[in-house]
Chains A and B, each alone.
Chain A
Amino acid sequence: MGVGTAQVEKRSTILVSWICIAVTKQNDLSKEIQDRVRQAAAARTALRIRGGDTKAFYGRTTTGEKLDVSGHRDIVSYEPTELVITARAGTPLDEVEAALAEKGQVLPFEPPHFGKAATLGGAVACGLSGPSRPYSGAVRDLVLGVVCVNGRGERLSFGGQVMKNVAGYDVSRLMVGAMGTLGVLLEVSLKVLPRPATTVTLALATDADQAITTMNAWAAQPLPISATCHDGELLRVRLAGAEQGVTAARQKLGGEEVPDGDTFWAELREHRLPLLSEAATLWRLSVPAAAPASAAEGTWLLDWGGAQRWFASELPADTIQQQAIALGGHATLFRGGDRTGEVFHPLAPPIATLHRRLKQAFDPDGILNPGRMYREW
């Protein structure tokens, strides 16, 4: 549904809509992107999809001709009372977040930007979510629909702009975290939420074992928690919501109030905390929240109530993967290390087969970001 089809009554609204169309048409490169993919498919040329180039460190290093989608930008539609925003993939995340902030709303999954130029498409393709993820959902939970170009150069639309939609397979969510290997994202619709009325961050001094126990005990109670993290010394918790609920929870949890709480969570999200930014090799372990603390050699930071564990370590990949399996999860070589080897956790044989076949189903010539996710495809 485009802006032009909306029923507008007031003259001023018509004018605003018209301006909006004029701006958005100019930055609509969907035709050019589609043509480029079609030509690449015909010539069997590998494409390297690029948005803001802020997450090139993530995934495997790939070659291929650059397909720059950052010019395909602008917010296509945003209706605050519908809790839905639709924007082109190249739209800077900053721009999306600013538009939402103006109406008192946020992207509930707090996407890491990792740089000023970060785009919405890149955030969705990498599938990364910030500190609020266990409490408000991951990027995949908030995606309602996508428009994309598959490896045959066909423009496809899945999902939509409504909260509930079970027509057809959920290809929109399949695109999240697929690193551009299944399709070039053109447009994404996301569910948004009101910004919490109040937020407070508290800190308690404790060790990792106790922190894991405490975070999980809190999560089993009806408390307005929106983030929890342990950096080796301090357990930090963010409370967010209606003022009375936050005040009551604050008294219940105890600890010291952190004066610049919002800054801390932003630094954590953007990996600007020294523990994360200074690591030569940074691993991400995704494990059950209550899995015990690990004694493996390296520095640990627990996020997501214990479910996401950052691990700065020079141990061999195999050792770290085994460690993750022992804890009930998997490991990703997030930053640093050898980016030409495998960086994502090996897939079990039947799952690997399904991946190969799905890649074939969307991109039969293997031209979209080949090797970005796994070496073989």
Chain B
Amino acid sequence: MTHADAATVAKTDKPSLVSALRAFLPREAVLHHDDELRPYECDGLSAYRAVPLMVVLPETTDQVQRILRLCSERKIPVVARGAGTGLSGGALPLPDGILLSLAKFSRILEIDRVNRTARVQPGVRNLAISQAVASDGLYYAPDPTSQIACSIGGNVAENSGGIHCLKYGLTVHNILRLEVITMDGERATIGADALDSPGYDLLALMTGSEGMLGVIVEVTVKLLPQPETAQLVMAAFDDIEKAGDAVARIIGAGIIPAALEMMDNPAIRAAEEFVHANYPVDAAAILLCELDGTAGEVAEQIQQVEKVLKERGAGEIRKARDEQERIIFWSGRKAAFPAVGRISPDYYCMDGTIPRQRLAEVLKKTAELSEKYKLRVANVFHAGDGNLHPLILYDANNPGELKRAEELGGQILELCVAVGGTITGEHGVGIEKINQMCVQFDEHELTQFHAVKSAFDPDGLLNPGKAVPTLRRCAEFGAMHVHGGKLPHPDIPRF
């Protein structure tokens, strides 16, 4: 069901809904006045806003079950929200729907040091898990840049990555078990405390499903031993292609760095002005290559990496002298987004992934598009795993600029698909990239996605209108794959 369809069903009697919810929720857990609802009108993608019908803040699993059962009966759409840091509008509210905030689910329930797992509520912040187990020499590996703020429930919904996922994987590789409430209010355990569970891999299906299949009320994560040591090398290149080539050579030499990041000149300059990370501001690109492991391993691999960097034409190569300098070098990369925010009134962050060997070509075409749309683009890049974050600089106060930025962004994503990549590596589709889904998938694939959704949520009430476009929407967008010269659904009007 599309969002529009849902809207026609849910001509809701608001006062009756408020009193039905207050029958089992405290007064302060049901927000419905406009001034209370405003703070929830967007997530990390602030260009898209909508005031929800109401916001509910349950504290217990039982309350979540009752909320969903009630909404199921009354056919009211529900959008789940964690910390609201998502960058694709996945938690954008619906004007006719309930926003289900999991902010009060903020407790770490159990740490099993022997099995190296932590059972936590979905509202627990990503970094808080690692902090809670640091004294045991353990940590939770996925480290999205927003880890001080983002919640683990949101990480699961988006299958978040981070700087170290080249070696340690994404959220899907680092969780064991979920407690999920389906739209009809049923509780289901997905995954297990063991490494696998019987039947289909529903854990993988739930991870990255953007709140469309169920509401997560508990997450069991894997904990890893902290590496004995980590060493960071920064290399400057006068040509971005050489930097890309160096990345391929490092991996070709049999080395999997813990992190391998690239920044282009505009990003280097913005970061340097902001945090003074001591970056070479004249470089066309820098690579940040971190190796971790035992002292012996790291010493051995760092030599190999330095050799490769020299061979591939790196100018300056700097090894962090101590932990403090390592943190300073990283600070520039980690602050790249806000740094760009300082030099431009607004910016729009893209998230395409490409096969690395196509990097030079994609950057060149991005530069051409930047020229065409007359908008600056700064590039930060999880180079090791091919995940690009072009940041499009614009000013929302200039009429038409946001629209141009969106168009430019859409073109970049379509370029990623054209070279064999994807429209989103780690930020999710949400509402932002929903049109580009029509470029990446054909009508059969999209129909299969809708069938998966229906298996979990037959009435289409959980986060409707996100992540997977309807065929109608694709037809209107005009980007549906054409098979055998025939347009799918020729009956649908096109603009």
A binds B: yes
A interface with B by C-beta (< 8 Å) = 1, 5, 7, 79-84, 104, 127, 133-134, 137-138, 140-141, 150, 154-158, 160-171, 173-174, 176-178, 182, 193-195, 197, 216, 219-224, 241-245, 247-249, 286-290, 304, 307-308, 328-330, 332, 344-348, 350-351, 354-355, 357-358, 360-362, 373-374
- B81 touches A (CB below 8 Å): no
Question: B196–A286 contact, CB under 8 A?
Answer: yes
Known interface pairs A164-B353, A171-B205, A357-B456; 18 further A-B residue pairs with C-beta atoms within 8 A, sorted by A's residue number: A81-B252, A127-B201, A134-B195, A162-B387, A164-B387, A164-B426, A169-B453, A173-B204, A174-B201, A178-B201, A193-B256, A197-B254, A223-B225, A242-B293, A308-B195, A330-B198, A354-B202, A361-B455
B interface with A by C-beta (< 8 Å) = 112-117, 136-138, 158-159, 161, 165-166, 169-170, 172-173, 182, 186-190, 192-202, 204-205, 207-209, 212-213, 225-228, 248-249, 251-252, 254-256, 293-297, 299-301, 353-357, 361, 382, 385-387, 419-429, 433, 437, 440-441, 444-445, 448-449, 451-456, 467-468
Task: Report the bound CA distance from A127 to B198 in whole Å.
Answer: 11
Cβ contact of A244, chosen from B202, B297, B421, cutoff 8 A: B297
Question: A156–B254 contact, CB under 8 A?
Answer: no
Question: B429–A168 contact, CB under 8 A?
Answer: yes
Cβ contact of A138, chosen from B196, B256, B354, cutoff 8 A: B196
Chain B: minimal CB distance from A293 (Å)? 14
Question: A290–B426 contact, CB under 8 A?
Answer: no
| A to B contact number (C-beta, < 8 Å) | 274
Residues of B contacting A216 in the complex (Cβ-Cβ under 8 angstroms): 114-116
Could you write out 16 A-B pairs with CB less than 8 Å apart?
A1-B420, A158-B445, A167-B424, A169-B209, A171-B449, A174-B205, A193-B256, A194-B255, A216-B115, A224-B297, A290-B114, A329-B192, A332-B198, A344-B198, A351-B190, A361-B448
Residues of B contacting A160 in the complex (Cβ-Cβ under 8 angstroms): 420-422
Residues of B contacting A104 in the complex (Cβ-Cβ under 8 angstroms): 254
Given A82-B355, A160-B420, A222-B225, verify A165-B425 contact (CB < 8 Å): yes
Residues of A contacting B355 in the complex (Cβ-Cβ under 8 angstroms): 1, 79, 82, 84, 161-162
Cβ contact of B357, chosen from A82, A308, A348, A358, cutoff 8 A: A82
Task: Report the bound CA distance from A222 to B226 in whole Å.
Answer: 6
Cβ contact of B455, chosen from A7, A224, A354, cutoff 8 A: A354
Residues of A contacting B422 in the complex (Cβ-Cβ under 8 angstroms): 160, 162, 164-167
Chain B: minimal CB distance from A273 (Å)? 21
Nearest-CB residue, chain A, relative to B253: A194
Report which residue of B189, B200, B441 has the largest number of chain A beta carbons within 10 angstroms of its beta carbon.
B200
Task: Report the bound CA distance from A161 to B421 in whole Å.
Answer: 7
Nearest-CB residue, chain B, relative to A212: B114
* List of 7 A-B pairs having minimum Cβ-Cβ separation, nearest first: A244-B296, A245-B297, A173-B204, A194-B254, A1-B420, A164-B425, A357-B455
